[in-house]
Each structure stands twice: as structure tokens, then as C-alpha cells.
Structure 1
Amino acid sequence: MAETIGDAAVPRMLVLARESRGLTQKQLSTSMSELAGGATTSQGFVSRAEAGQLPVSGERLELYAEALGYPSSLLRTNKPEFGAGVGLVHHRKRQLTTAGDIKRIHAVLNLTRLQVRSLMADVPARTTVPIPHVEVDDLTTPADAARAVRAAIGATAGPLESAVQLLEHAGALVLSRELLTPAQVDAGTETVPVDAVSCCPAGEDPLVLLNTGTPAERQRYTLAHELGHMVMHQVPHKDQEKQANAFAAELLMPATLVRTDLSGGQLGIPRLLELKKQWNVSMWALLRRAHTLGILSDWRYRSLAVEMSTLGYRTNEPDELPPDTPAAVEAAIAWHLRHGRTIDDLAARAGLHVQEFTRLYLAASPTSTSPDLAADPVSPFPSPVRTHHDR
């Protein structure tokens, strides 16, 4: 559906904008009343406006936009949206995530997708390897799917150097956003709140939003998990989270390679810490991998999990891995800036005020305006993914 801008607000954009700010209809109506200096805006008005029963234009539109912190042009833009589809939100402990959180996360993902699509327009196409789609059945396992991906990207052996680079090389776009405050990891399990949210709309670049504040080693596993959804899950089903975890484990720690490392001698905390730096994954991920591969007994697995928890490694593992930094969107912005567009231009494209655009797309990466970044005028994007064995 083409994007058009009319004189009045588009009801669905009113909903997305409000939910992306984590506001209820009542909270928005109160904010609008305060900004109006006494002229009351009722919750009923907001409800009817979002339902398309009342037009929002002129001064009322500007008031609406001011209360939401978006340019009024965004609220007037009729942009296509996707729903909560396969692998959209990655919940590792859903009971920690409220319905309001889910709505906000969905809205942030939708709006970020629209922003990024506008920012990537006109930029030279990236060199990518199409993500293979593998149907898991009685004969094909998630591990088979992971091996197919490794073969497709040419990373057939060794620990992956960068999960972000892998996804970007496969055509995805990765960004960090404040989704939820990271919570504690339950000892030895994968029960954490939302680490990432992703979507893979037909005909568009897949998009992954990483939860800001999540440790780098957990982000790598999360990215591999989200890639698993993109590869295997065209239709949702009850086993998809379990399958995505199995895919991620094989992608990051191939059984034929990691088994020897995990089996050499008595596996304990010092060895897990050593392997963490080698495999670029958390100690918990390695511990679980050793258990699922049958290297550790249930008793030994539980004992190590308790020991790691006692040491405080549930939330703060030693020797944190360096952050895995996204580059594709940053490179696209750098390309625009080098070709005469201003930050004001790009903010308007994205439907954001300049200050928020700068915070979301420039503040975290000062090099985004560097003339050396993305210097290739044809393909200003990251090189193919490498493994440690390539170096």
C-alpha cells in the first residue's frame, strides 16, 4: 500500500504513536488537556479518534502530535502495517511482560520498521545472501536448518565472530532499542524477559530490535534465536520457541565442533569462562549445550548452575564480551549525509523530531557521519561474515 499524507490524522497511526509511548488513552487525554491550558480533551475523544469516528486535523492535530512527541506529518501518513506474526516478539518469560508492554513493543517495532524503510530508500542495494527457508519436520531438525544457514553464508567451521554481521549479511537490519528493563536470568534456564523483537514482512528486509542493556553474550544468542524464526517458521506453532533455541545452539556452537571442547577434562567454571571467550557465547549457553549434548549429567548440570548462581553469574558474568555492533542502518545514514541530505531531512523521512532521530540513530554511533564509513559508493555495507578460523 502506498504511503500518502492527508490533512487529517490516520486513526491507526494515532494508536501506534500512543502505544509506542506506553500511554493509555486516559494518560494521553490528560496530557493534551494540560498542554491546551485548560481546554479539556476527554478520554472519549481519544477513543473515538482512534476508532476513526472523529476527524483529527488543524490545531487539534498539532496538539495531539505535541502530546505524543511526534511530528504531525507522521500521524497523517497512511503507512502499511503488519500484525503480531511469526517470531514477532521473542518471549523467554512471558509472565514478566504485561499486555501494555507487548502493545508498546509491537508499536515500537512497527514504527521502527517504517522509519528504517524510509531511511533505506534510494540507498545502493546491499550485498547479501538470501536467508534459506527450511521446513522442520520428522526428517529435518532445527540443527539441520542451522547447518544450512552456515553453509549458505560460507561459515562452515569455527565460532562465529559476529552474530550481527551474520544477520546483516543475510539481509536483515539490526538496531538496539529500549524494549524492557533486563531482568535476572533464572539459574541454568532460558527464562528471561524480552531480549529482542523481530519481523520478516514479505518483500522487505527482516528487522530485529535488540533490547538495550542486555549483555552482549546474551544478545548473540538472541540474534541467532530470531534468525531461527526467520529460517524455520513461516507458520506459527507451539514448538517454535524450542526449535529456535535448538537452532541458535547449533548455529553458535555446532555439536561436531563444540563437543570436543566441552568434553575435554572436568567441565567447571574456569573451563566455561575460557570457552566463553573462544565461542563468543555466555557461560550459561555453554553449560546448557553441554547438558543437551549429554556431556553433563543432570546432577552435574544442576551443581554447576547452583555454583554459578552463588558466584553472582546469573546477572553479571565475568569477562563480558565486547558489544556486537550493528552497521547496516548506520552505513545507510552515512551514505545519505555524504550525498547532501541533512539530519533534518532524514528525521523528516523517519517521521521523527530531530532530537529523537539523533538519539535513536546517531547518538550511539558518532562515526555515523564519518566520510570514511561506507566509503564504497556502490555497496556501503559490511563485508561477509567471518568465523574465527578465517583470521
Structure 2
Amino acid sequence: MFCRKRLTLARERRGLTGRQLSELSGINAVTISRLESGPTESPSSDTLARLAQTLNYPEAFFFKEAPEQLQTDIVSFRSMKKMNAAQRNAALWAGSLGLEIYDWLEQEYYLPKPSLPDLRLIGDAETAASHLRQEWALGDRPIGNVLRLLESKGVRILSLEEKNKSIDAFSFWRNERPFIFLNTFKTPERSIFDCGHELGHLVLHKHGDLPKSGRSKSNNGSESEEIDADRFASAFLMPEHDVKAVIPRNFINARRIIDAKKRWKVSAMALTRRLHRLKMLSDWQYRTLCIDLSRSGYRTSEAEGIERETSVVWDKVLKDMWSRKMTKEDLARHLNMPHDEVEKLVFGLVGKIAAPEKSKRHLTVV
């Protein structure tokens, strides 16, 4: 049966209004409206072909069961004020497609089981970050590969290639599995901080699940939650003892920060805020350094940046499939999705991959 929601999904993923889709496809706008929400149950074969061609979605996509539609009250969007409705909906639909990809993936592979503690009863974000580092036996050392670490703990990570800085990362829990979606349009350093920020939401606020105790999810996206998640990320990525041991308090300037940030793989601004938070910078020093770094372009980019981290899980999966002679088009056909949408969600790692066998394969992320 034709699924109305899937037409809405495809249209909004392509960034089109109903009128724009009508103009591009040559299909009457009223017909499109009726197909999405009105009395028309199914399009004619000609209409379906034109919709599929215009949207670059396979016809079979529109006959799958209704997609799981994410709602803004269960995801950790932090940039709601910056996004318009079209951008928000497109990102949420990307999340829906990501869930379908992971549903398929978990049928084919044994993935790491989630191992995230519930820290909602810990009142202080920095204490929670320290608690988690202790539970994961990280000590005070920098984290070599943040994505690898989170995936080894069972976090399902996918990418968003929205080509728009207004779209931040977001996260949620679904069926006791944690998900993070990262906008790879941001700098690699920002993506790493986003990982820490969303990890904070997952363990402190547990968006998407009914609250068992402690904080309610009803204030999702509130300023206090965002502050908590930022402080958690800062403390988790840049532990206090390591920062104080590495950076001399009596000699902190912009050059020192630019050199030191590489140790924790964070932005210059993030490290500056951390130093101020730890009282290693006075208010005057902090303002002066922010001005100096901004003038050098470090508020929006990183002139001396790092290599982007990508999903270790998807790298292993795709290499395994590649060894069994399956192309990216084969994978897309298996999922009944456009291959460009699949690539956008798996960090652009899709290459030649092989037909899945019946038995599941174990993935180890170390």
C-alpha cells in the first residue's frame, strides 16, 4: 500500500514544498496534497514514476511501512531557534532513515551492547563526567578517538550532511539504544565536542525514554539542559587534572591555546572556555583571548585543524560487505533508499560492499 508519510519524507528531505514538487514533476499541486494528506489513496503508475524520478527515491520506497517519525520533544535539538521548519523536518526525517538503516544492520550484525549509565540523579554535570570517565576506566588521559569509544559502548552514531551550520547534532534513546546524529558540515573539532554534548544528554537527560526518576524529559531543549550538556562535554573531553598539568597557569596566550587544543582535539574556543571555567583565566583574560581568537578566525573555523573522526562500526561493516562483492547501489536497493541518502548517513564511507549472508557477523570496536 502506498505510504503517504513516505512521500512527505522524500519531499522534505529534498527540501521541496508541495508547490515546488508540483512544478518540477508536472503533477498538479492538489494531487500531491491529496496524496500526502487527502482522500487519494494511491497514485497512478505515471504519477508514481514522475514523483520517484523527481525526488530521486526508488518507487519501492513509497510502499514500505510508515516511517518512525521523530518528534522534537524526544530529541536533543539545541539550535531550534536557528532552524526553520523545513531544516528541522529534513533533519528529523534523516533520523527516521537512520533508524531504518540500523534496524537492517542489527539483523545482519551483532553490534556492541549499550553500556551507558543513567546519571540523571547526579546533580552536577562535571561530577557526572568524572563518574563516567571513572566507570569507563579512562583516567585523566585524553580520549584518542571519541567516536570509536562511544561506538564501543553501544552508541549508534550516524552522520548528517545537511550543508547547513544551523543544524546541530542531536541524540535520543530508542528501545534502550542510544543514537547520535552528527552534522559533518561542522569542523572536526566541533563534531567531537558535539559527541560529548550529546553523550551528556544521553546520560543526564535520557531523551526519548520515559523518565524513571530524577529529571523529566518534558523540558527537553531547555537552557539548563544545554548548559549541563556543554559542561559535561567540556569536563569529559578535557579533564581538570590533565588540563592543569599541561597548561601553565602563568603563561596562557592565544598561541599556547592553539598548540594545546590538539591534545584534547577540541576547538580553541572550547579550550578557552574550559580554562575560564577552571578559573585558570580571569574574566578579563578570557574576554581578551576570545577577541584575539575571533580576529584570527577561530570562532567559526580551526586554521590548524585535526582529521575528522568517522564511524568505526560502519567502516568495518562496509569493508566486510565490500569483501563479498556488493556495490553501494546494491545496498541502497536492499534498503529501498537512494544511495546518496545512505552515504550521507554513514559518513560518506559507502563503497563497494557484498551481499549479506544469513548468519550474523560480530563487530568488535576497540
Shorter-chain TM-score range: 0.7 to 0.9
SS of the aligned residue for 2:362 comes to coil
1:16 is the counterpart of 2:9 = yes
User: Which one-letter code corresponds to 1:317 in the other structure?
Assistant: E
Q: Quote the Cα distance in structure 2 between the aligned partners of 1:241 and 1:58.
A: 48
Q: In structure 2, what is the equivalent of residue 208 of structure 1?
A: 180
Q: In structure 2, what is the equivalent of residue 46 of structure 1?
A: 32
After superposition, the C-alpha distances for 1:247-296 in whole angstroms (9 at most, x for unaligned) are 10111012233234345322111221221111211111110011122221
Length-normalised TM-score, structure 1: 0.80
User: Which one-letter code corresponds to 1:199 in the other structure?
Assistant: F
The answer to whether the 8 Å contact 2:35/2:43 transfers is: no
Q: Quote the Cα distance in structure 2 between the aligned partners of 1:130 and 1:362.
A: 22
After superposition, the C-alpha distances for 1:42-71 in whole angstroms (9 at most, x for unaligned) are 222222211152112441222222221111
Length-normalised TM-score, structure 2: 0.85
Q: Quote the Cα distance in structure 1 between the aligned partners of 2:306 and 2:253.
A: 19
RMSD: 2.6
Q: In structure 1, what is the equivalent of residue 211 of structure 2?
A: none
Q: In structure 2, what is the equivalent of residue 373 of structure 1?
A: none
Q: In structure 1, what is the equivalent of residue 276 of structure 2?
A: 291
Q: In structure 1, what is the equivalent of residue 128 of structure 2?
A: 145
Q: Quote the Cα distance in structure 2 between the aligned partners of 1:352 and 1:367.
A: 16
1:311 is the counterpart of 2:288 = no
Q: Quote the Cα distance in structure 2 between the aligned partners of 1:341 and 1:368.
A: 6
Q: In structure 1, what is the equivalent of residue 314 of structure 2?
A: 329
Query: How many residues of Structure 1 are paired with residues of Structure 2 in the alignment?
Result: 347
User: Which one-letter code corresponds to 1:24 in the other structure?
Assistant: T
Candidates 110, 118, 131, aligned match of 1:133: 118
Q: In structure 2, what is the equivalent of residue 162 of structure 1?
A: 145
Q: Quote the Cα distance in structure 1 between the aligned partners of 2:74 and 2:150.
A: 15
Candidates 64, 69, 75, aligned match of 1:77: 64
Instruction: Give the 5 Å matches for 1:246-325.
Output: 246-325=231-310
Report the identity percentage: 27
Instruction: Give the 5 Å matches for 1:58-73.
Output: 58-59=44-45, 60-73=47-60
SS of the aligned residue for 1:208 comes to strand
1:27 is the counterpart of 2:6 = no
| Residues 196 and 74 (structure 1), Cα distance of their counterparts in 2 relative to 1, 3 Å cut | same
Candidates 215, 224, 227, aligned match of 1:242: 227
Q: Quote the Cα distance in structure 2 between the aligned partners of 1:302 and 1:325.
A: 34
| Residues 332 and 111 (structure 1), Cα distance of their counterparts in 2 relative to 1, 3 Å cut | same
Q: In structure 1, what is the equivalent of residue 213 of structure 2?
A: none
Shift of 1:86: 5.3
1:99 is the counterpart of 2:85 = yes
After superposition, the C-alpha distances for 1:74-107 in whole angstroms (9 at most, x for unaligned) are 1111144142245625334x44321211111111
User: Which one-letter code corresponds to 2:362 in the other structure?
Assistant: S
SS of the aligned residue for 1:321 comes to coil
Shift of 1:313: 2.0
Shift of 1:140: 2.5
1:220 is the counterpart of 2:195 = no
The answer to whether the 8 Å contact 1:91/1:195 transfers is: yes
Q: Quote the Cα distance in structure 1 between the aligned partners of 2:74 and 2:155.
A: 14
SS of the aligned residue for 1:121 comes to helix
Candidates 196, 199, 202, aligned match of 2:172: 199
SS of the aligned residue for 2:159 comes to strand
Shift of 1:340: 6.2
| Residues 367 and 51 (structure 1), Cα distance of their counterparts in 2 relative to 1, 3 Å cut | closer
Candidates 173, 178, 182, aligned match of 2:161: 178
Shift of 1:327: 1.8
